[in-house]
């Protein structure tokens, strides 16, 4: 039944006459490690690509970048190389499985978030040029929100917050929201509840998180989806092949394809958290960079 639903959504995406918006920046964030954020980022990226979208995923997990290893394709160059060795960002992009484009994080990533404004401008000019070549640019951020990365997070067109039903994961997800929403009430945040036993558990997790956010910060977060706990995901991680490619008929893979389809349709129709704005990401980053110049979180 889910396969039939995925096929109907795919036909709807292909038949849509709404003009696509290029360069949508989506930040993928979690409150804590171990919730499957990077695995989600990879499989979501590939699922969007399978729907005909051009996708770039950039690993911004400071000190813990592992996108290339999860893909089973160690990168020759990474962002750290572009900073230290003055390589162009175009030169560190590699093609990953599922026809997605990738930029690896590598070691020494903390320098990226601590660039002086002049060097940051050079880096962002490259990001701005590159993102216009893609439908979606996904930033895979590290767990939590640090003062070094907050200007990148606040400047994204949309944030997808990945959590699980476990209380520690929910508490850390809420802590991340407390650092983001008060600084940008217009920031659109959607929630993915991963590793659920059933859909009700996922909805209840989101309702508690969104309800607390609305009560104490004046704004709730959007429901996106729940993804069931699936052994196929664990097997695919060990095999270093994304689940949607290695086990396309698994529950997780089918749910991911449904998510990608509905995400695209929602964005095109204006029903998604992101409604098609294409403001300059680099301009926003620099504005928040100046705002948080000496401010501690």
Distance CA 136, CA 258 (A): 17
Distance CA 74, CA 24 (A): 26
Structure token pair of residue 281: 């990401």
Handedness of CA 262, 268, 274, 280 (dihedral sign): positive
Q: What is the pTM (predicted TM-score) of this model?
A: 0.86
Q: pLDDT 10s digit of each residue in the chain, 297 long?
A: 555 555 555 555 454 433 445 689 999 999 888 899 999 999 999 999 999 999 999 988 755 667 888 888 878 888 877 766 677 888 889 999 999 999 988 665 555 555 566 667 777 888 888 888 999 999 998 877 776 678 888 888 899 999 999 999 999 999 999 989 988 888 899 999 999 999 999 999 999 999 999 999 999 999 999 999 999 999 999 999 999 999 999 999 999 999 999 898 876 555 544 444 445 777 777 777 777 664 555
Instruction: Tell me which residue of 109, 148, 103 sits closest to 127, measured CA to CA.
Output: 103
CATH homologous superfamily of 29-291 equals: P-loop containing nucleotide triphosphate hydrolases (3.40.50.300)
pLDDT of residue 29: 92
Distance CA 127, CA 124 (A): 5
Burial of 279 (0-12, 13-18, 19+ CB in 10 A): exposed
- How far apart are the two ends of the chain, measured CA to CA in Å? 47
Distance CA 182, CA 153 (A): 13
Distance CA 25, CA 273 (A): 12
Structure token pair of residue 67: 């996108």
Q: Which residues pair with 103 in a beta bridge?
A: 58, 93
pLDDT of residue 118: 62
Pairing relationship of beta strands 189-196 and 136-143 according to DSSP bridges = unpaired
pLDDT of residue 149: 77
Q: Which residues pair with 96 in a beta bridge?
A: 100
Q: Where are the domains of the chain?
A: 29-291
Distance CA 8, CA 239 (A): 31
pLDDT of residue 18: 39
- H helix or E strand, kind and range, residue 62: none
Distance CA 25, CA 154 (A): 11
Instruction: Tell me which residue of 135, 140, 217, 136 sits closest to 175, measured CA to CA.
Output: 217
């Amino acid at each position: 039944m889910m396969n039939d639903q995925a096929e109907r959504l795919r036909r709807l995406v292909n038949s849509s006459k709404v003009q696509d918006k290029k360069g949508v920046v989506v930040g993928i964030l979690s409150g804590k490690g171990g919730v499957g954020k990077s695995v989600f980022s990879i499989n979501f990226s590939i699922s969007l690509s399978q729907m005909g979208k051009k996708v770039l995923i950039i690993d911004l997990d400071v000190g813990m970048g592992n996108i290339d290893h999860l893909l089973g394709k160690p990168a020759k160059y990474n962002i750290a190389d572009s900073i230290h060795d003055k390589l162009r960002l175009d030169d560190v992009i590699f093609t990953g499985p599922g026809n997605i484009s990738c930029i690896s994080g590598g070691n020494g990533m903390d320098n990226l978030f601590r660039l002086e404004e002049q060097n940051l401008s050079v880096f962002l000019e490259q990001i701005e040029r590159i993102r216009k070549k893609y439908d979606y640019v996904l930033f895979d951020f590290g767990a939590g929100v640090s003062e070094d990365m907050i200007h990148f997070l606040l400047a994204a067109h949309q944030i997808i917050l990945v959590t699980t039903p476990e209380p520690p994961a929910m508490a850390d997800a809420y802590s991340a929201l407390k650092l983001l929403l008060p600084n940008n009430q217009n920031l659109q945040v959607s929630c993915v509840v991963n590793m659920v036993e059933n859909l009700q558990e996922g909805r209840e997790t989101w309702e508690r998180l969104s309800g607390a956010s609305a009560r104490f910060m004046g704004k709730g977060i959007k429901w996106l989806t729940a993804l069931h706990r699936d052994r196929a995901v664990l097997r695919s991680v060990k095999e270093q092949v994304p689940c949607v490619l290695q086990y396309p008929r698994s529950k997780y893979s089918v749910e991911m394809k449904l998510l990608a389809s509905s995400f695209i349709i929602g964005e095109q129709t204006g029903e998604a958290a992101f409604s098609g704005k294409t403001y300059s990401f680099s301009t926003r980053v620099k504005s928040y960079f100046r705002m948080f110049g000496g401010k501690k979180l």
